[in-house]
Amino acid sequence: MELQELIEKYPDSNLMAYIKACKSGEITIGKELMLQLDLIMDDFNNEDITVDFSDADKRIRFIEKECKHSEAPHAGKPFILELFQKAFVEAIYAFKIYDEEVGRLVRKYNEILFLVSRKNGKTPLISALCLAEFFSGDLGTKILCSSNDYDQADLAFQAIDAMREQSKKLEKCTRKNIKGIYFGNPRHVKKKGKFSYANKGNIRKISAKTGAKEGKNIRVGMSDEIHEMKDDAAVMPIRQALSTQDDPIYFELTTEGFVNDGYLDHRLHDARMVLKGELDRPRWLIWLYTQDSETEVWQDKESWVKSNPGIGIIKKKSFLAGMIDEAKTNMQTRAFVLSKDFNLKQNNSNAAFSPELYTCSETFDPSVLQGCMAIGGVDLAMSIDLASARLMVMRPNDRKKYFIQQYFIPEDKLSAKDDGKDYKEWSRQGLITVSPGAANDFDKITDWFVNTVNQYSLRVFKIGYDDALAKYWLKSMSEIFDDVDQVCMTRIAQKREVLSAPFSLLESDLRNKLIVTNNNPIDEWCLSNLAIDMDKRGLILPCKAGGKAEKKIDGAATIINCEAVYLQNSSEFNAYVNS
């Protein structure tokens, strides 16, 4: 049957109403969700599938009648489902197939992947569905809330418990302890029946770090924020625990994340193959709220609803607009917003900076820096690789940061063509110092610092270094640059907590044209290869674009080391600069 015929056949169906609105353009959705809706249209027309809305209606009524929100600004208010939420619930429960092994009709969809941007109510919705299953499902229904860590698993569990506590009817026949939620209440004892101690169903929580995940027997499983999982170690025991049930249900709910080649990446790869008809997983419901492109995020505010179905109702449009404005000028914010607010995966295959940011044609005569204050940075490489050293010099009453730099390479590496670059030509231009043999001679790096400082009478404030390979070199540099009053050599730990802020400062300085590399082509190459690896806290670790070894970032690393020293000592350093 065509869409209009189905609408007439199921006039009270929220799912049909949603499909009609999406098909007509009244509701805007992405191409991936539209593919799933097309598959659902096939379900409606499949003679082997029974369409029955009674289970869905039962759960919708339960949620709207018994469940209340527990968090501001809706705390204490009834959980009234929006059309997109009701359509989702009906898609899960309305389609039944005959299971010969069980000998009766069961739900067609027993696995659900629900991808939606943050703050669109995904955890409360699935938590409410789990609570509905606990009361509306079979006797002895056991439910397990899981996530990559215990705190996240506890969020779903606490959401379920908060809704249970706010309903007098639900609270009256259940109890909670440190292990979970159970039927039977010592204050209101029922001797028999579904809501008595005789019902051994329960709701419990577990994380990827919890031991003894094997051997459980559950009917409903819920894995929250699966984007944080590196592999399937946390979810497979839960999926296996469903294997004894006649009509199990397994929810995976998440936003996009930052783990590269992780569990979610593999699940989405398979899911997209299913949606395109390239992989047969008929019992998997794939409900993806995604954008069709990154471009539309910047150019079309009306497209934001594709990944944010609750925008204007659950999630504030003004908040999202503010985040977009900030993301336009901040790479760290941009990566986080695109991933978490628009479900656009951000990974280290993408360069951090656009060419207009890292291309710097401004030149200067280093002699104009005579007597100025400098911060040093170094990135060492012992074997056949590139090393970088630089001085970041600032002049009085001038915000610009002027760089004098030198690169170092072993002779055995000189003929290599990393990323098509010609190290021999750069060495002929004096941009690279060559060490005999297969390893960099760190004494040459020391000599460069000494000679450059003396040539321009620079005052060295501090020199930032990564302590990898630095033990011998640090000793020789300390003997030259440290004195009794000041420790000049400063370790810059190469971890997110240390490098995130300097990276953001570098981006800001590039955007404001404050970085002057004297048109150094190796600096520009290194900056073009710079990417970021972001974690769930929004902290970043600079890395090579695509993880490719030939894409060198040593020069960018030394700039960031200089920025790190500057951030840690900006007041003192600026006082010296202007003294």
Lowest mean pLDDT among 292-306, 333-347, 396-410: 333-347
Determine the average pLDDT of the residues in 203-215.
Answer: 65
Ranking 74-88, 150-164, 362-376 by mean pLDDT, the lowest is: 150-164
Q: Which residues contact 339 (CB under 8 A, 6 or more apart)?
A: 255, 256, 257, 258, 345, 346, 534
Bridging pattern class, strands 540-544 and 530-534: antiparallel
Q: What is the pLDDT of residues 524-559, one digit of tens each?
A: 999 999 998 888 788 889 999 877 888 999 999 999
Q: Give dist(CA 531, CA 534) in Å, integer.
A: 10
CA distance 308 to 324: 14
Average pLDDT of the segment spanning 222-236: 89
C-alpha–C-alpha distance, residues 116 and 289, integer Å: 5
Domain ranges across the chain: 3-340, 355-577
The span from the CA of 50 to the CA of 97, in Å, is 6
301 DSSP 8-state letter: G
CA distance 452 to 241: 67
Dump the DSSP string for 225-245: -GGG-SSSTTTHHHHHHTTT-
Q: DSSP code of 579?
A: -
In which element (H, E) is residue 405 found? strand 401-410
What are the backbone dihedrals phi and psi of residue 444, each rounded to the nearest 5 degrees, phi first? -65, -35
Q: Output the average pLDDT for the chain.
A: 91
- Answer yes or no: are the C-beta atoms of 232 and 263 closer than 8 Å: yes
Q: What residue type is 510 in one-letter code?
A: L
Burial of 504: CB neighbours in 10 Å, binned 0-12, 13-18, 19+: middle
**What tokens appear for 427 in the block?**
């060495």
In angstroms, the CA 363 to CA 365 distance is 7
pLDDT at 349: 63
CA distance 195 to 173: 6
The one-letter amino acid at 219: R
If we measure between CA atoms, which residue out of 564, 368, 357 comes closest to residue 461? 564
Contacts (Cβ under 8 Å, ≥6 apart) of 372: 393, 394, 395, 396, 456, 458, 459, 577
- How many Å apart are CA 430 and CA 408, to the nearest integer? 10
**Can you give the pTM of this predicted structure?**
0.82
Structure tokens of 246? 């006649």
Candidates 507, 513, 508, 490; CA nearest to 562 is: 490
Give the Cα separation of 174 and 182 in Å (integer).
6
Triad 272, 540, 257: Cα angle to 5°: 20
In the predicted model, what is the mean pLDDT of residues 274-298?
96
Q: What is the mean pLDDT of residues 107-133?
A: 96
Residue 346 has a pLDDT of 78
Lowest mean pLDDT among 178-192, 207-221, 247-261, 399-413: 207-221
pLDDT at 171 over 50: yes
Give 355-577's CATH code, choosing from 1.10.287, 3.40.1700, 3.30.420, 3.40.390: 3.30.420
Can you tell me the distance from the alpha carbon of 176 to that of 290, in angstroms, rounded to the nearest whole number?
37
At the top level of CATH, the class of 3-340 is alpha beta
Average pLDDT rounded to a whole number, residues 399-412: 96
- For the chain, percent of residues with pLDDT exceeding 70: 97
DSSP state of 350: S
pLDDT tens sequence across 474-514: 888 888 888 756 679 999 999 999 999 999 999 999 999 99
- Asked if 422 contacts 447 with a C-beta cutoff of 8 angstroms, the reply is no
Give the alpha-carbon dihedral of 276, 278, 281, 285, to 10 degrees: -10
Q: Say if residue 381's pLDDT is above 80.
A: no
Return d(Cα 222, Cα 144) in angstroms, integer.
6
Q: Provide mean pLDDT across the span 403-408.
A: 97
Read off the pLDDT of each residue in 147-176 and give the average, rounded to a whole number. 91
Mean per-residue pLDDT, 292-318: 94
Q: What is the pLDDT of residue 214?
A: 46
Q: Residue 484: what pLDDT? A: 54
Q: At what angle do helices 554-568 and 496-511 cross, to 10 degrees?
A: 100
pLDDT given at position 60: 98
CA angle, 157 then 161 then 164, to 5°: 145
Q: Is the pLDDT of residue 84 over 80?
A: yes
The confidence band for 471, taking pLDDT boundaries of 50, 70 and 90, is: confident
pLDDT at 149: 78
Q: Higher model confidence: residue 163 or residue 206?
A: 163
